[in-house]
Amino acid sequence: MRGLEGKVAFVTGAASGIGRATAVRLGEERARVAAADLNADGAAATASAIGPEAVGLGLDITDLSSVQAAVAEAERLLGPIEILVNCAGWDRVEPFLDSSEETWDRIIDVNLKGVIRCTRSVLDGMISRRSGRIVNVSSDAGRVGSSGEVVYSGAKAGIIGFSKGVARETARHGLRVNVVCPGPTDTPLMAATSEANPRLGEALVKAIPFRRLAKPEEIAAAIAFLASDDASFITGQTLSVSGGLTMV
Q: What is the pLDDT along the chain (248 residues), one digit of tens a residue?
A: 898 999 999 999 999 999 999 999 999 999 999 999 999 999 999 999 999 999 999 999 999 999 999 999 999 999 999 999 999 999 998 999 999 999 999 999 999 999 999 999 999 999 999 999 999 999 999 999 988 899 999 999 999 999 999 999 999 999 999 999 999 898 877 777 777 677 777 888 888 989 899 999 999 999 999 999 999 999 999 999 999 988 86
pLDDT value, residue 202: 80
pLDDT value, residue 204: 80
CA-nearest of 77, 64, 67 to 36 is 67
For residue 214, give the H/E element and its range. Answer: none
| Domain residue ranges of the chain, discontinuous segments joined by + | 8-184+215-241
For residue 239, give the H/E element and its range. Answer: strand 238-241
Residues 42 and 65: beta-carbon distance below 8 Å: no
DSSP 212: S
Its pTM surpasses 0.75: yes
pLDDT value, residue 194: 72
DSSP E strand boundaries for 46-203: 54-58, 83-86, 132-137, 175-182
Task: For residue 108, report the phi and psi dihedrals to the nearest 5 degrees.
Answer: -70, -40
**Residue 192, Cβ neighbours under 10 Å: how many?**
13
**Active-site amino acid positions:** 152
pLDDT value, residue 213: 92
Structural fold of domain 8-184+215-241: Rossmann fold (3.40.50)
